[in-house]
Amino acid sequence: MSFLKEKEKFPEIKKIIAVASGKGGVGKSTVSVNLAYALAAKGYKTAIYDADIYGPSIPILFGLENSQPEVIQMGEEEKIIPALKDDIQVMSIGFFLNPEQPAIWRGPAASSYLKQFLMDTLWKDVDYLIIDLPPGTGDILLTLCQDIPLDGAIIVTTPQKLSLADVQKSVMMFKHKDINVPVLGVIENMSWFTPETHLDEKYFLFGEGGGRFLAERFETELLAQIPLFDGLCKASDK
């Protein structure tokens, strides 16, 4: 048994849900944040952990880019107090990285830092912890999913069939017998665009059918299709 995989390591957390994608830029962080807000709106005590080492965007999406979490000493251990925004506990690897410098950690160092931050955070009474995983299917992701006691994974993809190869690899990774994390379903993002002036029209800018194809192929659910929203970029930055 790996050093983290035991659920007892997280006595304050009831469920851990990972949000994953094959490629970057498909809306994984946007979905993670909105999922956290949706759960909080339903009355669940919610937390989010941004483990996207290549582009930690959670601090910006929460308006916490100048936040420096406090580190306290608890007995022998140092613990990090997560930021709190709209009742959501927020921890991001981005709080500890210089935004002007790319993350230069290699695979093993990166995954052990990511695990350590998760363990060292002083989470308090959480129904759902959402983890925004790094994109791809590489070593970092594999080690994280092997070691963190995930209760389920949600896969984010665009409708483009061409981009599905990587996404399929990540679904297969969750289903692999050594990882064995239930895939809760697929969210297809950027499914179509409807101009404000023509509300009855749908333009399938990135192709069609990728989410449904993936859900059927892996016998899971297509949980949602999210259209392109004009202004989401600006709203996210704000």
Binding site residues, ligand ADP, CB under 6 A: 21, 24-30, 55, 57, 189-190, 226, 228-229, 232-233, 236
Closer of 34 and 127 to ligand ADP (Cβ):
34
Closer of 168 and 236 to ligand ADP (Cβ):
236
Cα 179 from Cα 154, distance rounded (Å): 15
Q: How many CA atoms lie within 13 A of 168 on its CB side?
A: 14
Q: Is 17 helix (H, G, I), strand (E, B) or coil?
A: strand
User: Could you tell me the two tokens for 158?
Assistant: 């665009």
DSSP secondary structure letter of residue 81: P
Closer of 28 and 45 to ligand ADP (Cβ):
28
Closest CB 193 distance from ligand ADP, rounded Å:
8
Q: Quick check: 138 and 190 in contact, CB under 8 A?
A: no
Closest CB 167 distance from ligand ADP, rounded Å:
11
Closest CB 182 distance from ligand ADP, rounded Å:
21
- Whole-number Cα distances in Å, 147 to 87, 116, 140, 150: 28, 11, 11, 9
Closest CB 22 distance from ligand ADP, rounded Å:
10
Closer of 29 and 137 to ligand ADP (Cβ):
29
